[in-house]
């Protein structure tokens, strides 16, 4: 298990099981090393519209195995715990309350 730090200074757990789940998808095979960077220096962080305890961290990558895509790292935040649920490539960020950058 890795403990990462996000752009807000919070500790975020990334378990071996979650990382293996993420990397089993062919388009994510080369993106594992990018997860920590997206948490530390995202372009945007949005609150999920379906779960207020979930944050979506986004960064755009010009070159992925499937072309230019946004990498979204999904983090569940509890009172004293935060952990990566999943990560995926997408064409555009989902709608939601902007949490980062802080205005």
Name the pTM for this structure: 0.96
Residues 6+ apart with CB under 8 A from 33: none
Q: Is 96 helix (H, G, I), strand (E, B) or coil?
A: coil
| Residue in 89, 94, 91 with CA at minimum distance from that of residue 26 | 89
Peptide bond into 101 cis (omega under 30): yes
Q: How is residue 25 annotated by DSSP? A: S
pLDDT in tens, the chain (103 residues): 999 999 999 999 999 999 999 999 999 999 999 999 999 999 999 999 999 999 999 999 999 999 999 999 999 998 899 999 999 999 999 999 999 997 6
């Amino acid at each position: 298990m890795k403990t990462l730090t996000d752009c807000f200074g919070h500790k975020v757990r990334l378990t071996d099981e979650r990382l293996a789940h993420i990397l089993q998808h062919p388009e994510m095979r080369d993106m594992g090393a990018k997860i920590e960077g997206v948490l530390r220096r995202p372009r945007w962080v949005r609150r999920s519209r379906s779960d207020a305890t979930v944050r979506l961290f986004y960064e755009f990558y010009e070159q992925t195995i499937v072309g230019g895509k946004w990498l979204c790292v999904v983090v569940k935040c509890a009172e004293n715990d935060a952990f990566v649920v999943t990560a995926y490539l997408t064409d555009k960020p989902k709608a939601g309350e902007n949490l980062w950058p802080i205005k």
